[in-house]
């Protein structure tokens, strides 16, 4: 009997040792994080979002193995505020960074727009780079920063990414038709897509044994429209090039971007890193309406209509996202930071102020666990490129409200517009007079939010208001 008890004792010990060793061998490896940002890429300019003209096979593959969001929004209708939101998880209005840097300052308009808004991302804002670096991640940022108004050399910028949590950096700027560098012409790398890609590939190779955060922030497809002429010819000769929503040069630029995505994914797969890489592909705002219509949406970049703020968003993470899906979850670029911090255990806490939310439950098809009915936008400026006037907006469930500040401040008609996006995604039918209860409810919500984030408002330009009323 004693021998039997002794044998049983040793068996138990052996099993425990075995289980402990198995647990150690299956130690959870934190995911790599890769964010790829396109510039001015419209919602419908990708194959998986409905385009039959633009060719994006590599981006489409990500969607087929991950999650494609149909209700994803940029935090602003222009670049700098959205990029600040990605870095901080906060609404641009809370950051007081509400226009592209350096912004417009028109003097002959009915309203005086705020002139003391932030022209850079303050150093006291804790960025995703700083959070991830503190958690032991290797960090890299290559491409368009646009969160500082200073120009070259990038290393001397007082607010460059190397001072905000990114160990390896390379800042690029959009090309100028009058200042195209010789190497750009020779290499046909007008928007630095190839340069940014090579930097990214090298970073991945060097950090393959440690968890990393890598941001590849492209200048393409922003103005000026420049690309390899042979590739442009391909799209000029393609059926559908005569349609307003299809631009051959943009087609060439998008294909170059797609090839970059393919190279990055191939590298991750070759190094066996792809399955455990949380990859986010997005655009900083909607596409430019003057270059190509943003059907099915209204207007484009600069505007608070859907064409300016509804953007493509694809998230891939094969280790966690087992069932590819199309998500209807209403999400925004303010959600990137809290989501990443949570899934990487990198310091998501209740002490920090984030406007974004953790959307990781959607990775397991559990969107029902996410409580979100509202999103907000605030643009107290005039946008010369699009014609957009100062306005704020909010989405509440299926409804979208836009409040125009000129008529509101000057006590004129047509202060608000209201749309049911489920029934009218093109925002053709203003319901503000048809459903006044909804309009009042949303206007009050917007008013309270503006107060909560201490959003700066435009003021009457007394020198022009008389002329305006006449």
Report residue 184's pLDDT band, with 50, 70 and 90 as the boundaries.
low
Q: How confident is the model at residue 7 (pLDDT cuts 50, 70, 90)?
A: low
User: Which ranges of 66-127 would DSSP assign to H, the alpha helix?
Assistant: 79-88, 92-95
Percent with pLDDT over 90 in the chain: 79
Q: Which residue has the higher pLDDT, 364 or 2?
A: 364
> Where are the chain's structural domains?
32-372, 375-469
* Separation CA 467–CA 470 (nearest Å): 5
Mean pLDDT of 362-379: 94
Residue 8 has pLDDT above 50, yes or no: no
In 123-273, which ranges are E strands? Answer: 138-144, 168-172, 212-217
Does the pLDDT at position 325 exceed 90?
yes
Distance spanning both ends of the chain, measured CA to CA:
107
Residue 346 has pLDDT above 70, yes or no: yes
The β-bridge relationship of strands 72-73 and 331-332 is parallel
Residue of 17 and 331 predicted with greater confidence: 331
Largest Cα–Cα separation, the chain: 107
**What local confidence, expressed as pLDDT, does residue 183 receive?**
52
Tell me what pLDDT residue 160 has: 86
For domain 32-372, which architecture applies?
3-Layer(aba) Sandwich (3.40)
CATH class, 375-469 region: alpha beta
Instruction: Show the tokens assigned to 289.
Output: 């309406």
Residue 403 has pLDDT above 90, yes or no: yes
pLDDT for the residue numbered 463:
83
Q: What is the pLDDT of residue 137?
A: 98
The 8 Å CB, 24+ separation contacts for 336-340 are: 336/35, 336/86, 336/89, 336/128, 336/280, 336/282, 337/86, 337/87, 337/88, 337/89, 337/128, 337/131, 338/89, 340/33, 340/128, 340/132, 340/213, 340/278
pLDDT higher than 70, residue 467: no
Instruction: Give yes or no for residue 12 having a pLDDT over 70.
Output: no
Q: What are 26's two structure tokens?
A: 């299956």
Q: What integer pLDDT is reported at residue 125 of this predicted model? A: 94
Q: What is the pLDDT of residue 74?
A: 98
Q: Between 368 and 442, whose confidence is greater? A: 442
The mean per-residue pLDDT over the stretch 186-206 comes to: 92
The conformation of residue 170, written as its DSSP 8-state character, comes to E
pLDDT in tens, 420-454: 999 999 999 999 999 999 999 999 999 999 999 99
Question: How many CB atoms sit inside 10 A of residue 428's CB?
Answer: 8
pLDDT at 182 over 90: no
pLDDT at 90 over 90: yes
Mean pLDDT of the chain: 90
d(CA 442, CA 394): 8
Is the distance from CB of 284 to CB of 308 less than 8 angstroms?
A: no
Provide the pLDDT for residue 3: 52
Predicted pLDDT at 296: 94
User: pLDDT tens digits, residue range 255-286?
Assistant: 999 999 999 999 999 999 999 999 999 999 99
Mean pLDDT across the stretch 23-47? 86
User: Of the ranges 113-122, 153-162, 167-176, 362-371, which one carries the lowest mean pLDDT score?
Assistant: 153-162
Q: Tell me the pTM.
A: 0.91
pLDDT of 177 reads 57
Q: What is the pLDDT of residue 188?
A: 79
Position with higher pLDDT, 355 vs 174 = 355
CA distance 199 to 282: 19
Give the three-class secondary structure for 3.
Answer: helix
Q: 98 pLDDT exceeds 90?
A: yes
- On the question of pLDDT at 402 being above 80, the answer is yes
The three-state secondary structure class of 440 is helix
């Amino acid at each position: 009997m004693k021998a039997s008890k002794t044998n049983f004792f040793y068996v138990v010990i052996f099993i425990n040792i075995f289980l402990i060793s198995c647990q150690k061998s299956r130690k959870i490896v934190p995911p790599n994080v890769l964010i790829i940002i396109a510039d001015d890429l419209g919602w419908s300019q990708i194959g998986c979002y409905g385009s039959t003209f633009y060719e994006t096979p590599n981006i489409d593959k990500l969607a087929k193995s991950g999650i494609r969001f149909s209700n994803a929004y940029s935090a602003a209708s222009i670049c700098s505020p959205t990029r600040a939101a990605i870095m901080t998880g906060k609404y641009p209005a809370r950051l007081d960074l509400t226009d592209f840097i350096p912004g417009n300052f028109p003097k002959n308009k009915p309203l005086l727009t705020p002139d003391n808004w932030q022209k850079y991302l303050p150093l006291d804002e804790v960025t995703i780079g700083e959070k991830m670096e503190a958690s032991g991640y290797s960090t890299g940022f290559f491409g368009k920063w646009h969160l500082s108004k200073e120009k070259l050399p990038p290393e001397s910028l007082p607010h460059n990414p190397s001072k905000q949590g990114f160990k390896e950096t390379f800042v690029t700027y959009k090309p100028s038709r009058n200042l195209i560098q010789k190497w750009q012409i020779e290499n046909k790398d007008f928007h630095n897509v190839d340069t940014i890609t090579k930097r990214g590939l090298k970073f991945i190779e060097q950090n393959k044994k440690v968890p990393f955060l890598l941001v590849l922030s492209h200048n393409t497809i922003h103005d000026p429209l420049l690309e390899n002429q042979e590739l442009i010819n391909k799209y000029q000769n393609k059926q559908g090039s005569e349609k307003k929503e299809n631009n051959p040069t943009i087609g060439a630029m998008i294909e170059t971007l797609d090839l970059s995505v393919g190279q990055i994914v191939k590298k991750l797969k070759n190094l066996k890193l792809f399955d455990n890489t949380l990859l986010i592909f997005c655009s900083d705002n909607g596409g430019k309406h003057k270059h190509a219509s943003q059907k099915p949406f209204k207007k484009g970049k600069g505007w608070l209509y859907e064409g300016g703020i509804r953007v493509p968003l694809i998230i891939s993470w094969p280790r966690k996202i087992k069932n590819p899906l199309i998500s209807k979850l209403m999400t925004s670029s303010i959600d990137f930071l809290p989501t990443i911090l949570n899934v990487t255990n990198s310091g998501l806490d209740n002490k920090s102020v984030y406007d974004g939310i953790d959307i990781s439950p959607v990775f397991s098809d559990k969107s029902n666990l996410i409580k979100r009915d509202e999103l907000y936008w605030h643009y107290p400026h005039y946008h010369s490129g699009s014609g957009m006037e100062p306005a704020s907006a909010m989405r509440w469930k299926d409804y979208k409200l836009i409040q125009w500040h000129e008529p509101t401040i000057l006590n004129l008609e047509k202060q608000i517009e209201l749309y049911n996006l489920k029934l009218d995604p093109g925002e053709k039918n203003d319901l503000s007079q048809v459903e006044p209860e909804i309009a009042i409810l949303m206007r009050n919500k917007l008013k309270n939010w503006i107060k909560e984030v201490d959003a700066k408002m435009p003021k009457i330009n007394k020198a022009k208001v008389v002329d305006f009323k006449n």
